[in-house]
């Protein structure tokens, strides 16, 4: 490091949490050193690849759409979803309450001042377990950034380069931290390896060859290095019994650099790691036909109309419907003894209801292309990336008749678990429920209810129709795989983002933010998430850490 640049803070990780913290510290005129094991091409981290969902409470977009939301309703939903039940949940509870106040208050202005714009339609994610007091969002709260994850990351990246121009910030990429220097309980700095230069494109795995070493000092160090989602060894090690046996085969929803190693390094330095068994993985993963990182999977963001079957051809019961209860459905699927399941749907459903998570899978929103976006809403086909998966994806089969479709599903699965007559009977039973305006089928009734929300009716939920009627075809089956994604536990922190030991004492000068801290406190989501809360959790925890250091 240049002699004239002595940082007030070192931040490990150039993802959203780290960039937010850097912005707050440099806004106060203090100096920051940003370190990252990856290349400069990867600045912005996982958030760059995201769909850009942001959780807000009583936002202008909600009010314009007639949605009545409040802090109290959101707190009810959060508590019912989180299921806090451990002694270690003291700080996660505090962080959850603080985050909800942020989401109901300052958050909208905070992101608006940075130039982050939100789409007019508010999505309804994690619709819940069917009870008012339990899991799920009572109302739509999923606000998509106009620009997806790239639109969220962009202003924070720009702020970092502006601070660099002012001499307040330095970035050192290919610098992998391997240890924290702590003396007499106080942080002194960091040490690590300098990795060789690499010209790989964003998201592609980079070299781990070491060419040199480094050691830097600063009175404050923030760990903002992300979770464990790409480290399947750690995922399996921490997999909880309550979710069944860990899958033998999993797709990866995050780049290879999301390895969780800094969490272990923090633990070796005295940090208390809590709730490592709490994690957030998806059941609707597709093998990416055009992969960027190893085992690259893409998640379907489904509307509620596809019929969901397990590997044996049994229709999943409520509340395990598309878009309702992610971890409940994961547990149900794992208990079948197979780590995959099936959607059966029609062209009418895929056109209206299928979205793919990821900035690169949504060029209309990512590139802010109004013409292309209107084509998504009113076009005759599904968005082009969805149609590309339908054509090239290994997990899609298509047919004009159910018997042939089931045979193709059987060939794809490589076993004889599916029985055509059994599947046919279940779909026919569902289709008969549409002969009346009332029904005993929970999924049918919910679709009728959700189309009362015009955001869903316009752009998210297909009109009810019979699956087996030829005019609604062709029929489509999609094999769904388990997809790793988020770490809900992590480094325990107080409400200043200061890292705590097991005895609750502060490791002076050490902080954690973002996914490494379970998005705050060591797991502010508890057991489950309401969605749209991960990017916001990175922004909030990074802001808290940065403002605290800035104010010292």
Low-confidence ranges of the chain (pLDDT < 70): 1-3
Instruction: Give the separation between CA 217 and CA 190, rounded to whole angstroms.
Output: 6
Q: Is 169 helix (H, G, I), strand (E, B) or coil?
A: strand
Q: Are 444 and 433 a contacting pair, CB within 8 Å?
A: yes
Sign of CA dihedral 362, 363, 364, 367: positive
The model's pLDDT over 123-162, given as tens digits with 9 standing for 90+, comes to: 999 999 999 999 999 999 999 999 999 999 999 999 999 9
The CA distance from 364 to 371, in Å, is: 8
Distance CA 146, CA 56 (A): 15
User: Cβ distance 298 to 388 under 8 Å?
Assistant: no
pLDDT of residue 1: 46
d(CA 249, CA 528): 22
d(CA 136, CA 78): 8
In sequence order, what DSSP letters do the residues of 261-313 get, joined into one string?
HHHHHHHHTTPPEE-TT-EEEEEEEEE-SS-SSTTBEEEEE--S-SEEEETTS
pLDDT of residue 3: 56
Instruction: Pick the closest to residue 330 from 240, 232, 233, 441 (CA basis).
Output: 240
ω before 202 within 30° of 0 (cis)? no
Do 522 and 493 touch, CB atoms closer than 8 A? yes
- Planar angle of CA 50, 277, 541, nearest 5 degrees: 50
Q: What pTM was computed for the model?
A: 0.96
What are 403's two structure tokens? Answer: 């018997």
SS3 51: coil
Report the relative pairing of strands 32-36 and 355-356 from DSSP bridges. unpaired
DSSP assignment letter at 125: -
Tokens 């339609």 found at: 121
d(C-alpha 368, C-alpha 146), whole Å: 6
Asked if omega into 485 is within 30° of 0 (cis), the reply is no
Residue-wise pLDDT tens digits, 10-56? 999 999 999 999 999 999 999 999 999 999 999 999 999 999 999 99
- As a whole number of angstroms, the distance between CA 533 and CA 517 comes to 14
């Amino acid at each position: 490091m240049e002699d004239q640049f002595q940082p007030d803070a070192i931040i490990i990780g150039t993802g959203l949490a780290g960039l937010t913290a850097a912005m707050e510290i440099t806004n106060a005129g203090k100096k920051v050193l940003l370190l990252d094991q990856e290349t400069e091409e990867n600045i912005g981290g996982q958030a760059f690849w995201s769909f850009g969902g942001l959780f807000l409470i009583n936002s202008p977009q909600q009010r314009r759409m007639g949605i009545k939301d409040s802090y109290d309703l959101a707190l009810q939903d959060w508590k019912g979803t989180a299921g806090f039940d451990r002694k270690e949940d003291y700080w996660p509870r505090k962080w959850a309450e603080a985050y909800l106040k942020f989401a109901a208050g300052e958050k909208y202005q905070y992101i608006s001042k940075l130039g982050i714009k939100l789409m007019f339609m508010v999505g309804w994610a994690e619709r819940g377990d069917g009870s008012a007091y339990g899991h799920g969002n009572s109302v739509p709260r999923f606000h998509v950034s106009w620009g997806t994850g790239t639109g969220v990351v962009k202003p924070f990246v720009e702020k970092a380069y502006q601070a660099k121009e002012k001499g307040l910030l330095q970035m050192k990429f290919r610098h992998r931290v391997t240890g924290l220097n702590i003396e007499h309980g106080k942080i002194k700095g960091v040490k690590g390896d300098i990795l060789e230069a690499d010209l790989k494109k964003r998201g592609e795995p980079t070299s781990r060859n070491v060419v040199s070493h480094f050691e830097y000092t600063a009175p404050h160090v923030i760990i903002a290095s992300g979770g464990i989602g790409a480290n399947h060894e750690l995922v399996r090690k921490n997999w909880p019994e309550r979710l069944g046996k860990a899958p033998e085969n999993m797709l990866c929803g995050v780049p290879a650099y999301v390895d969780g190693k800094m969490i272990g390094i923090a633990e070796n330095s005295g940090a208390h790691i809590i709730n490592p068994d709490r994690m957030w993985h998806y059941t609707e993963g597709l093998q990416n036909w055009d992969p960027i990182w190893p085992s690259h999977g893409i998640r379907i963001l489904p509307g509620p109309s596809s019929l969901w079957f397990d590997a044996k051809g049994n229709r999943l019961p409520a509340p395990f419907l598309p878009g309702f209860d992610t971890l409940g459905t994961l547990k149900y699927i794992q208990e079948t003894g197979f780590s995959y399941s099936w959607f059966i749907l029609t062209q009418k459903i895929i056109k209206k209801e299928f979205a793919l998570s990821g900035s690169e899978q949504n060029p209309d929103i990512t590139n802010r292309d109004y013409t292309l976006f209107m084509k998504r809403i009113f076009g005759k086909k599904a968005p082009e990336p969805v149609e590309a998966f339908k054509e090239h994806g290994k997990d899609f089969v298509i047919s004009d008749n159910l018997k042939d479709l089931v045979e193709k599903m059987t060939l794809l699965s490589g076993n004889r678990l599916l029985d055509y007559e059994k599947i046919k009977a279940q779909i026919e039973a569902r289709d008969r429920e549409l002969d009346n305006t009332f029904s005993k089928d929970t999924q049918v009734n919910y679709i009728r209810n959700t189309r009362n929300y015009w955001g869903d009716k316009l752009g998210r939920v297909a009109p009810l129709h019979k699956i087996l009627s030829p005019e609604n075809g062709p029929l489509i089956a999609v094999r769904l795989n388990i997809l790793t994604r988020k770490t809900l536990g992590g480094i325990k922190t107080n409400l200043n983002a200061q890292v705590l030991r097991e005895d609750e004492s502060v490791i002076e000068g050490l902080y954690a933010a973002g996914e490494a801290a379970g998005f705050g406190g060591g797991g502010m989501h508890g057991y489950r998430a309401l969605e749209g809360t991960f990017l916001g959790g990175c922004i909030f925890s990074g802001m808290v850490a940065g403002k605290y250091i800035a104010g010292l």
